[in-house]
Amino acid sequence: MQNQDENSAFMANYSIQIRGNLIDLSTPRIMGIINLTPDSFYAQSRQANDQALLKKCESMINEGATFLDLGAFSSRPGAEMISEKEEKVRLLTALQKIRNTFPEVYLSIDTYRSSIARLAINEGADAINDISGGLFDDNMFETMAELQTPYFLMHMKGEPKSMQHKPQYENVFTEIFAFFKKQIDQLNRYGVKDVILDPGFGFGKSLAHNYSLLRNLAQFHALNCPLLVGLSRKGMIQKVIHQDADRALNGTTAAHVLALLNGAQILRVHDVKAAKEAIQIVDFYQKQ
């Protein structure tokens, strides 16, 4: 749902529905990353035990996260796909503990499997974040139509194991725009109402591809869907500032400001407080 406002700080006003509540995205929201994996690319995001997991969730909520995104498999470059059974084992207990401890926060599940999506929603999750954009599971769109929960539609070229091996496009923006248009049309035919687009920074894109997408981000609003960006501490930042993931927060904040100025509605982040402050600064700047 979109209302155009030329004076809006964030270029377009959207909302999505979760549990009968209308989530206003006219001021951008934050999605905190909760990794349930032993091998995510940013080591500090890994949780050692249930106590650490719940403490991390509490911290992110207190710092201003609207969503927590639970991922039970690693999608870092070079990562191997895990089995459905392993994903389920990693996810289910953590989801139940987080849902019971923090009943008000909105939980997104990072999965490309429709069976995991259905299980997670039945266990109290609120949305599905699919890195494959529906390409890895032919039943995902039909499942999302049945569940009627928000669907984060990401673009990825290839699969995590090989996606960063010399990715090529004739024009990265027009190819991803066409992919989004095709997938949105299919979702609309199924009756899926709330679709959020994620260009998939770092997922089958070179450094130049990533910054071209960031520069042209606002043009995706022609598809009439809110935009999520996942830039946090990624290689596209590390390579420019010549730092590793542990030292990439300042560069991440700079990239978040660029994304916000170009119309991002949701920032998917490891560091909620810093992202919240970036949103506050851009909001104040644009309203002067």
Average pLDDT, rounded, for the chain = 90
Give residue 193's Cα distance to chain centre.
Answer: 18
Look at residue 39 in the predicted model and tell me its pLDDT: 55
Q: pLDDT tens across 123-149, in order?
A: 999 999 999 999 999 999 999 999 999
User: Checking DSSP bridges between strand 106-110 and strand 67-71, what pairing results, if any?
Assistant: parallel
Name the residue with tokens 């946090």: 232
Spatial CA neighbour of 78 closest among 245, 241, 235, 199: 235
Look at residue 8 in the predicted model and tell me its pLDDT: 43
User: Checking DSSP bridges between strand 2-3 and strand 13-18, what pairing results, if any?
Assistant: antiparallel
Place 6 in a pLDDT band, splitting at 50, 70 and 90.
very low
Q: Is the pTM of this model over 0.85?
A: yes
- What's the rounded mean pLDDT across residues 274-280? 98
Place 229 in a pLDDT band, splitting at 50, 70 and 90.
very high
Query: Is residue 190 pLDDT above 60, yes or no?
Result: yes
Q: Annotated catalytic sites, by residue? A: 234, 268
CA distance 236 to 85: 32
H helices present in 30-78, as ranges? 50-63
CA distance 279 to 288: 15
Q: pLDDT tens across 71-104, in order?
A: 987 666 665 677 899 999 999 999 999 999 999 9
